[in-house]
């Protein structure tokens, strides 16, 4: 697990489809801060941010493919790792 605390972020379009995704992210990332801008939501977190498929599915009421996030994604920072179950953004350790 990286100890690098440099900020990562994800930015999503602010619409009906992203409400459950944003809620899921807040629930799974207690240190994340949500900023609202016109038509956009930017979520900052120190070091690491994780998006869990099951957390979204709980809120959305159907099966969810994490790749669907691409439809409403605006931008992100940090190194991305993607599996069926989780998307993780984080910076690796500085040696």
Partner 1 sequence: MSNPQSPPKKLTLKENYALLTRGLGWEPSYEAQDDIFPMVKFEGIKIHDWEKWEDPFRLTMDAYWKYQGEKERKLYAIIDAFQQNNGQFNVSDARYLQALKVFITGVTGLEYASHRGFNILGREFPGVGPRIAAQMQSIDELRHAQTQIHALSHYNKYFAGMSEFPHMFDRTWYLSIPKSFFEDAVTSGPFEFITAISFAFEYVLTNLVFMPWMSGAAYNGDMSTVSFGFSAQSDEARHMTLGIEVIKFLLEQDPANVPIVQGWIDKWFWRGYRLLTLLAAMMDYMLPKRVMAWKEAWEIYFEQNGGALFADLARYGIRMPKYWEVTVKEKSHVSHQLWCIFYQFRHAAGFPVWLPSEEEMTWLSAQYPDTFDKYYRPRYEHWRELERQGKPFVNATLPQLCQTCQWPLLFTEPDDPTQICYRETTYRGDKFHFCSDGCKDIFCDAPEKYVHAHLPVHQIYQGTYFNAGVNPGAPDFNPLVEALKYMGINPGVDGGDFATHVDAINWTRWTNKPANMHEPGAQGLGAAPKDKVG
- Give the binding range for partner 1 (CB under 8 A) out of 23-31, 51-59, 70-78: 70-78
Angle at 11 between CA 21 and CA 64, to 5 degrees: 25
Number of residues counted as binding partner 1 (CB under 8 A): 29
Q: Which is nearer to partner 1, 29 or 90 (CB)?
A: 90
**CA dihedral defined by 88, 2, 46, 48, rounded to 10 degrees?**
10
| Residue of 40, 57, 86, 88 interacting with partner 1 (CB under 8 A) | 40
Three-state DSSP state, 74? strand
Query: CB 52 → partner 1: shortest distance, Å?
Result: 15
């Amino acid at each position: 697990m990286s100890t690098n605390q440099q900020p990562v972020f994800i930015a999503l379009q602010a619409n009906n489809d992203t409400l459950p995704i944003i809620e899921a992210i807040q629930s799974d990332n207690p240190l994340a801060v949500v900023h609202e801008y016109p038509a956009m939501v930017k979520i900052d977190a120190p070091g690491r941010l994780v998006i869990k498929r099951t957390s979204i599915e709980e809120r959305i009421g159907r099966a969810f493919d994490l790749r669907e996030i691409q439809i409403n994604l605006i931008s992100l920072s940090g190194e991305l790792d993607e599996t069926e179950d989780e998307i993780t953004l984080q910076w690796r350790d500085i040696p």
